[in-house]
Amino acid sequence: MRYYVYISGAKLDMLAPQVPRRLWERLEPTLSIEAAGIKGSLAGARQPASMEANLNRVISHLEKLGVGSVEEPREYFKGVLSMKYMVVGNSMVLWGGAVAEDSLRVGLAGSSDHLQSSTYRSNGKALTGSLTHDILDNIGAYLEHSGVRSSPVKQRDVSAETALWHTWEAIKLMHEDRSLPPLRGYEFFAKRLLHGSLGGGELVLLGTPLYVALSD
């Protein structure tokens, strides 16, 4: 069993209809009938699936297509990592962690509306579908607010290398911020947004999660 802290309903609404029909039919109820020597079965009407059921089916389908890890990410990747989290600008939640003696920093970002706690809500200012440029805008605003550097208003105007540097710096700043909740283990499944190497060989991976759950 998982204790979910984040599930992206928007991503599931987009991905679930793309799951092959046969994967849904396996779970549809059937009613066996036998009367007057006649045998048959009646398929039950398919009820709307719960969010968790949709999540499990989508992940099962994606894993058959191939899923990467934080060290070797593919279009989708999963893992368990010690991370900090924060809400940026009352609209985005960001998790940040590091592996391989800090040579790889991993960020997961999405709309705070998908947090499973009602503590944080966007008040109508949610990210638009966890788009990469919206996430980078929020990361840039966080760096500006923290006084680390002056960033362009629109992150879509910066280079991919600059976007990687901003992500690296934001995660580093999170780890140094003692006002944030401490590091703890999280399990996640995410879509890759950015992945690349910086000038000194450091690696950065930024994704947007389908789910994040607490890990022992």
24-70 residue pLDDT tens: 555 444 444 455 555 544 444 455 568 888 899 999 999 999 999 99
> For the residues 65-87, what does the mean pLDDT come to?
96
Question: pLDDT-derived band of residue 100, with 50, 70 and 90 as boundaries?
Answer: confident
* pLDDT of amino acid 70: 96
Closest CA to 54 of 22, 11, 108, 93: 11
Per DSSP, helices labelled H in 5-131 are 9-15, 21-25, 51-65
* pLDDT of amino acid 156: 59
* pLDDT of amino acid 170: 94
* pLDDT of amino acid 144: 85
The ranges assigned to domains in the chain are: 1-216
Higher pLDDT, 9 or 101: 9
* pLDDT of amino acid 213: 95
* pLDDT of amino acid 159: 79
Helix (H) or strand (E) holding 45: none
> For the residues 106-119, what does the mean pLDDT come to?
85
- Express each pLDDT in 139-175 by its tens digit: 888 888 887 765 554 555 677 888 899 999 999 999 9
Q: How far is CA 79 from the centre of its chain?
A: 11
Closest CA to 202 of 153, 168, 163: 168
* pLDDT of amino acid 89: 77
